[in-house]
Amino acid sequence: MDFSGTERRHSVASSIYNYLYRSTSFCSRQSLARELGLSMPTVYQNLSKLMELGLVCESGEQLSTGGRKVSGLSIVPQVRTAVGISVTEHYLRFVASDLLLNELAYRQLSINAGVIFSGSGKLLSESLERFLDDSGIDRERLLGVGIAIPAVMSPDVRHITAAPTLHLRDTSLEGLAGQIPYPTYIENDATCGGYAEWFERSGVGDMAYLSLENGVGGAILFDGRPYLGNNRRSAEFGHMCVEPGGLTCTCGKQGCLESYCSPRRIQNTFGVTPEDFFSTIERHGPGYQEYSALWENMLRHLAIGINNIRMALDCDVVIGGRLREFLPPYLPRLKEYVSGIDPFGSGADYLQLSALRRHAVPLGVALHFVVDFINQI
């Protein structure tokens, strides 16, 4: 490819910035030149440009083998921020993030989801502005605002096709971000959570992400690219059938994974929060036997769903969502159940828990703007 001089310089600066962004160890001018195959003058020239823009800075020193101190380099994460908003049935969750997905501020507001999707988006815009003000977010550095919703959307992302947990169907998205005066982006919540997880793991190849929220969903990532399907309905893992003729799901069908493995099932059955549910199981409190029986049933059905995902996609399966935080003590048992129905007897080593324990969805939708910014350098 025949690059012009300007394009070549941009490409070199971009390569240097991306290398520093991904680096997890001490990085010097010398190591940049060595790893990227660049001359030292080229490294110095492009680093000067990045430093003038406030994108890269000196970051400590390291003794070389000859005893001379070598200056380290790193990106400046706070030079830009992005905001992610997660819309659920009962809450708005706001997260402000820097370029490294470090959480700068968080807020949760109780809402009625129906109000958010009616009118011109005034409530969402006003809530966002208060969050920015109270968190001290510099609007001049704000890349954009991402909005994640638990919904199947039309291919042009202008309508909600179905959102069972929000009790919405065939609903326009035109007014949702209508009064937000910043660049906006709207995406499915589980897709956002999966993308954030893949990014946090520094690119693990192919991955299926299973989100265990009140609405069970997921994401499929092939080499970091979300696979959305022909109608943006891929990875609707919550609506695969794991028990024909079983419990009624929010979608109206019977036997869906969501009806068996959502935290909502705990609330609907016993009227308690997941925190109280698992606390009772751990301390053998009143109701222990009934709680344990329900949890055993949930684990068995979850194993069926995980095995189905593995059989279809043959890649790592990562569990995220609210239920994920309670799973560590039960992961060996879950792997045993999955392995027991796996015809290839893999031992379920491919099954992992999400590395992002909190706020993966709003961070994931904010990540859209972070990646765009990095790619434009």
Based on the domain organization, do 126 and 25 belong to the same domain? no
Do 112 and 219 lie in one domain? The reply is no
How do 159-163 and 69-75 pair as beta strands?
unpaired
Alpha-carbon distance of 187 to 368, in angstroms, equals: 10
Q: Based on the domain organization, do 40 and 135 belong to the same domain?
A: no
Tokens of 211: 């989100």
DSSP string, 187-203: EEHHHHHHHHHHHHTT-
Using CA atoms, how far apart are residues 285 and 5, in angstroms rounded to an integer? 71
Per-residue pLDDT in tens (0 to 9) along the chain, 377 residues: 333 444 455 689 999 999 999 888 889 999 999 999 999 999 999 999 999 999 999 987 655 555 556 679 999 999 999 999 999 888 899 999 999 999 999 999 998 877 787 766 888 999 999 999 999 999 999 999 999 999 989 888 888 998 888 888 888 888 888 889 999 999 999 999 999 998 888 766 899 999 998 889 999 999 888 898 998 889 999 999 999 999 999 889 999 999 999 999 999 999 999 999 999 999 999 999 999 999 999 999 999 999 999 999 999 999 999 899 999 999 999 999 999 999 987 789 999 999 887 788 999 999 999 999 999 98
Cβ atoms of residues 206 and 223 within 8 Å: yes
Question: At which of 75, 110, 136 does a domain end?
Answer: 75
Domain count, the chain: 3
The CATH number linked to 52 is 1.10.10.10
| Judgement on whether residues 130 and 268 belong to the same structural domain of the protein | no
Query: What does pTM read for this prediction?
Result: 0.85
Q: What is the pLDDT of residue 83?
A: 98
- Name which of 373, 366, 372 is nearest 187 in CA terms: 366
The pairing of strands 152-153 and 81-87 is unpaired
Instruction: Specify the pLDDT at position 4.
Output: 41
Q: Are residues 339 and 282 in the same domain?
A: yes
Residues in Cβ contact with 287 at an 8 Å cutoff, skipping those fewer than 6 apart: 270, 280
- Kindly report the number of other CB atoms within 10 A of residue 197's CB atom: 25
Range of the domain at 230: 203-353
168's enclosing H/E stretch is strand 168-172
